[in-house]
A and B are shown apart, each in its own frame.
Chain A
């Protein structure tokens, strides 16, 4: 895989249409570095032994602490974790480390803050899923998430915002219909995505991995899909025209961007989301018996997906025509 051009797939296809001998195929798999060689194995063993060795030792220590947990005083429990957080931050600030090591350390400190709050909740009996626990966690890692250039930490931060909001609404929030909750979630995530893409364009952020913006875009599409379905099935939801308009605005903008950047991702996700919403609409609003409904839906899905795929394949060919 390290050498360009000849992949495992290519070797499979060539051997499929020829009488290529197995010995020579094996030789190619080795020569093309698809199979690991001696130096790869040496690196792998080194990395695995260090990684698993350190991991298992650490797990052993954690298990040991867990075994003695009930004997420890509450100050010791909290102090242990807080001490770890402080130690990590001191290491971060006082040593010259590789950027990746720094990022991972900051991420572990952020996770430990969560662990600290859960211990706090355990000691003072506030419950492990109280929304204020997640709110505290979110607030106290905000600065780290903002100054770090590490998308994994951003994702943790955004997930925490989502979880905090969902728990807040279900535990103490106003008595909203669930579609309103989804609308707020969709807007928050869409705004974060827009903001980050804008910062990237203005070169404030130097790298924006594709998986990060895609997982955010996917979460937005999922919130829109579930939220609009809730609007359809829920009785007495008044907010649907606003939700609908915002969803159209968001999808329209996304589709425009996809054409501009020649990316197929949103063009796969958005139409699929629309198909699901239309199915829900047909199911709820058209007044025919269930047999006819299911038949109509199956035909609708298969036909629309088939046409959608034909269109996407054609688009893919025009965009990547050089290949």
Chain B
């Protein structure tokens, strides 16, 4: 009830300010708002639908693979049919109860196409076809889960390309794509929401997709899975530049004009020691953006990632424990002294 009153108040304010300039489809809006308030209470139901979808798709996938043992073309055709059916079902039947069936069908289809093409023994071809399917999914459906899955699938395919063909430095391109995507999507939220229906609907899943993919790649960098040891500074520099860009935007939105240079220098002093630890830089970026945009979930992911990556640093064999100890202690003292300087500054600021 409280929400309905608040929404009515907001719409009234908006129409008063913008008059006839503001056009809205009240009927559809109310319907979706109602659905939103109901869905919010049923988080367990959502998780259940996803879990059920996974389990069902697993069995169906096993059935199809058994049925057409090595007939790759039939498998691919069935996979395609399953995906198309899932997308159509989602588009035309608006019922949360059918979510499990849609997701199950889609995942089973994706698996079938992957399995079917893998019999050609050409890893690049398999990856390319899956990439294509994921891209087509993003264009053709507005469903949250399918879009989220497709974004993650696109990134996984690109990652696979890099690994299959042993492309050096490719991981840094992926870092750049996802870190830039995540930052821009977070900072340009209002612009993207206002950009039209399609952009509005896809905003949330694409944003979440960038976040999940970025996190995955950071974990790779943290464990040196892609053997990027020597070139880690490339990813770290990209992320540090993004953090500086974020600070720039933040200073504009908080209308802080004086002492800008001091703030940038402080940021650089804090960030430069992490030039060989891109995972920690990435966690800081996620943490800062999560806090600024008021997304508690993103913020807590940032905090957890930070704790984990710093903890993982302990096992990094490139540096001796003494070096690590000095780096940690130095940073800690730096932060603490930064706080004391800041508190003094603030007190002087208040007195003036």
Residues of A participating in the B interface, judged by any CB pair closer than 8 Å: 1, 4-6, 8-26, 28-30, 33-38, 40-42, 44-46, 49-50, 52-61, 63-64, 66-67, 264-265, 267-269, 272, 275-276, 279, 290-291, 294-295, 297-298, 301-302, 305-310, 312-313, 316-317, 320, 322-323
Q: Which of A34, A267, A275, A323 has the most chain B CB within a 10 Å cutoff?
A: A323
CB within 8 Å of A: which B295-352 residues: 295-296, 310, 314, 320-322, 324-336, 338-339, 342-343, 346
CB neighbours (8 Å) of A295 from chain B are 59-60, 63
The residue on B at minimum CB distance from A45 is B342
Residues on the A chain within 8 Å of B343, using CB: 46
Of the candidate stretches B36-44, B123-131, B152-160, B232-240, the one touching chain A is B36-44
Query: Provided the pairs A45-B342, A60-B332, A61-B329 are in contact, do residues A294 and B14 lie with their beta carbons within 8 angstroms?
Result: no
Q: Can you offer 12 A-B residue contacts whose CB atoms are under 8 A?
A: A12-B200, A12-B204, A16-B200, A16-B201, A17-B24, A17-B26, A23-B190, A49-B336, A56-B328, A60-B327, A264-B44, A323-B38
How many residues of chain B get a CB closer than 8 Å to chain A's CBs? 96
Q: A13-B36, A60-B325 are in contact. List 4 more A-B contacts (CB 8 A).
A: A29-B294, A34-B293, A294-B60, A309-B99
- Is there a chain A Cβ closer than 8 Å to B259's Cβ? no
Nearest 10 pairs of A and B residues by beta carbon: A5-B6, A60-B329, A56-B332, A305-B52, A57-B332, A53-B335, A18-B24, A294-B63, A63-B325, A60-B328
Among A10, A42, A61, A302, max chain B CB count under 10 A is at A302
Measured between alpha carbons, how far is A49 from B333 in the docked complex, in Å?
A: 10
Q: Which of B21, B59, B204 has the most CB of A within 10 A?
A: B59
Q: How far is the CA of A25 from the CA of B199 in the complex (A)?
A: 15
Distance A50 CA – B321 CA, assembled complex (angstroms): 24
A294 touches which of B2, B62, B329 (Cβ 8 Å): B62
- Proximity string of chain B (191-206) to chain A, C-beta cutoff 8 Å, 1 when within and 0 when not: 1011101001101100
Nearest CB of B to A241, in Å? 27
Inter-chain contact B42/A264, CB cutoff 8 Å: yes
B98 at the interface (CB under 8 A from A): yes
B2 contacts A4, C-beta separation under 8 Å: yes
Question: In the complex the two chains form, what is the Cα distance from A265 to B5 in whole Å?
Answer: 29
Q: Write the chain A residue with the least CB distance to B197.
A: A16
- The answer, yes or no, to whether B177 is at the interface (CB within 8 Å) is no
User: Which one, B97, B190, B296, contacts A310 given CB within 8 A?
Assistant: B97
Question: Quick check: A37 and B254 within 8 Å, CB to CB?
Answer: yes
Interface residues of B in 103-158 (CB under 8 A from A): 104, 108
Q: A5-B6, A5-B7, A56-B331 are in contact. Are A18 and B25 (CB under 8 A)?
A: yes
Residues in B with CB closer than 8 Å to A294 are 59-60, 62-63, 66
Instruction: Find the B residue at minimum CB distance from A1.
Output: B294
Complexed CA–CA distance, A213 and B101 (Å): 31
Q: Mark B74-102, 1 if CB is under 8 A from A, else 0.
A: 00000000000000000000001111110
Cross-chain contact A60 with B38 (CB below 8 angstroms): no
Which residues on the A side are within 8 Å of B327 (C-beta)? 60
B22's partner among A20, A37, A42 (CB-CB below 8 A) is: A20
Contact status B22-A312, CB under 8 Å? no
Residues 29-75 of B at the A interface (beta carbon under 8 Å): 29, 32-33, 36-38, 40-42, 44-45, 47-49, 51-53, 55-57, 59-60, 62-63, 66-67
Chain B residues with CB below 8 A from A11, complex form = 193
* Bound complex: CA A275 to CA B335 (Å): 52
Interchain nearest-CB distance for B56 vs A (Å): 4
Give min CB distance, B144 to chain A, whole Å: 12
With A22-B193, A38-B254, A56-B328 as given contacts, are A268 and B333 in contact (CB-CB < 8 Å)?
Answer: no
CB distance from B141 to the nearest CB of A (A): 16
In this assembly, does B262 line the interface, its C-beta being within 8 Å of a C-beta of chain A?
A: no
Contact of A298 with B59 in the complex, beta carbons under 8 Å: yes
For A63, give its contact among B40, B99, B314, B338 (CB under 8 Å): B314
Q: A52-B335, A301-B59, A305-B52 are in contact. Are A12 and B44 (CB under 8 A)?
A: no
Question: Cβ of B241 < 8 Å from any Cβ of A?
Answer: no
Evaluate contact between A35 and B45: CB separation under 8 angstroms. no
Instruction: Specify which chain B residues have a CB less than 8 angstroms from the CB of A46 in the assembled complex.
Output: 339, 342-343
B36 touches A57 (CB 8 A): no
> Is the CB–CB distance between A25 and B45 below 8 Å?
no
Q: Does B220 contact A (CB under 8 A)?
A: no
With both beta carbons as reference points, the residue of chain A lying nearest to B322 in the complex is identified as A67
- B270-286: which have CB < 8 Å to A? none
B23 within 8 A of A: yes
CB distance from B332 to the nearest CB of A (A): 3
Asked whether B261 is an interface residue with its Cβ less than 8 Å from the other chain, the reply is no
User: Least Cβ distance of A239 to chain B in Å?
Assistant: 27
Q: Quick check: A320 and B41 within 8 Å, CB to CB?
A: yes
Known A-B contacts A61-B329, A265-B44; A302 and B56 likewise in contact (beta carbons under 8 Å): yes
Decide if A64 touches B291 in the complex (CB within 8 Å).
no
**Is B11 interfacial (CB-CB < 8 Å)?**
yes
Q: Which residues from chain B contact A308 at a C-beta distance below 8 Å?
A: 48, 52
B1 contacts partner chain A, Cβ-Cβ < 8 Å: yes
Say yes or no for B257: interface residue by CB 8 A criterion.
no
Tell me if B328 and A317 are in contact (CB < 8 A).
no
* CB-based contact A8/B310 at 8 Å: no
Q: Give CA–CA (A275, B6) in the complex, Å.
A: 42
By a CB distance below 8 angstroms, the chain B residues around A291 are 63, 66-67
Q: With A14-B29, A309-B49 in contact, is A26–B292 under 8 Å at CB? A: no
Known contacts A17-B29, A28-B10, A302-B56: does B190 contact A10 (CB below 8 Å)?
A: no
Known contacts A13-B32, A308-B48; A316 and B56 CB within 8 A of each other: no
